[in-house]
Amino acid sequence: MDRRTFLCGLTLGVLAAPLVAEAQQAAKVPRVGVLSPGNAPPDDPFPQREAFEGGLRNLGWTPGTNISIEYRYAKGDRNNLPKLARELVGLPVNVLVARSVLAIRAAQQATGTIPIVMSATQDPIREGFVASLGHPGGNITGLTLRAEDLYGKQLELLKDAVPKLSRVAVLHIASYPRRPEVDRAARALRLEVKEFPVTSAQDIKPAFAAMKLGRMGAVLVPGDPLIFDAHREEIVALAASHALPSIYSFREFSQSGGLMSYAADLRDIHRRSATYVDKILKGTKPADLPVEQPTKFELVINLKTAKALRLTIPQSLLLRADEVIQ
């Protein structure tokens, strides 16, 4: 080997070394996939992305620096979710964060090995995502939106808003079991509760007509992404046309004209989902991470709707509200 060949080889080696080191460092940066049924910012109704990335930063993860995040949005079309889930799995990602029951289901069907973090579901046990809240098993864990006494608390708020209330309708999915906390709260508040089950969106309008015939004084609408959430405007309009004070499990209902909503703070849920990603990336198995229930809730009251119903909301209740829509 002559001197010129040696120096050329030495120069190339020196130049290549930083590139190899940089490539190795990039390869070590974990990749997180986020699957959402909704729209990308700025059309996202909640600052989900902001909350999630803020949670990561608080834990020492900086998107684009020591962690990579791949977002996929279904833009309101549930049929897009399976394809997007498979796309994220194929990258691949180290962790998959799924928002909503449909997104979690798509992620579950796409992979049985990549850890999945739930960030918005009402009942992960009934949906078959986890074996139990304390011991999820499998590759799925995360957060649920429903606390044990959520519906009981909603009944209390309805009673506070309508002091003379005696009969409450519960609009619910026919296949869902009756919630014992509803019965306990009803007895304590001396309320008669009657269920109005539906199996499809076509049952919603007849259910409200039956409530009116049954002389119901108010209606409680649990959260359900397949039927109720997808027909929010119709439900709010039917409650108004039948002059039924209503309480819902998502704030969007109140923002759309529903009387009240009392639900988990979704910003807090998405922020806390970052803690699951952090623990999983640091080696904890999803099966060993208990599913968390919400600890922060939001009460939203629509005063415009109250006036249309000729209701005077007590000042004590207004002071407890996180948001009052004038």
pLDDT in tens, 168-201: 999 988 777 667 778 888 999 999 999 999 988 8
In angstroms, rounded to a whole number, what is the distance separating the alpha carbons of residues 174 and 13? 69
Would you say residue 133 lies in a domain?
Answer: yes
For the stretch 3-15, pLDDT in tens is: 555 445 555 555 5
**According to the model, what pLDDT value does residue 57 have?**
97
The predicted model scores a pTM of: 0.77
117 and 213 in one domain? no
For 263, the 3-state DSSP assignment is strand
Answer whether residue 156 shows pLDDT above 90.
yes
Comparison of pLDDT for 176 and 253, the residue scoring more: 253
For residues 49-65, average pLDDT: 95
Q: What is the mean pLDDT of the chain?
A: 88
The CATH number of residue 223's host domain is 3.40.50.2300
pLDDT in tens, 274-310: 999 999 999 999 999 999 999 899 999 999 999 999 9
Predicted local distance difference test score (pLDDT) of residue 239: 96
Query: How many domains is the chain built from?
Result: 2
Tell me: do 78 and 209 sit in the same domain.
no
- The answer to whether residues 60 and 128 belong to one domain is yes
Q: Is residue 1 part of a domain?
A: no
Structural contact between residues 259 and 221, judged by C-beta atoms closer than 8 angstroms? no
- Together in a domain, 20 and 134: yes
* 63 and 85 co-located in one domain: yes
Can you tell me which residue has the tokens 């309009």?
237
pLDDT value of position 22: 44
Nearest to 84 by CA among 106, 104, 111: 106
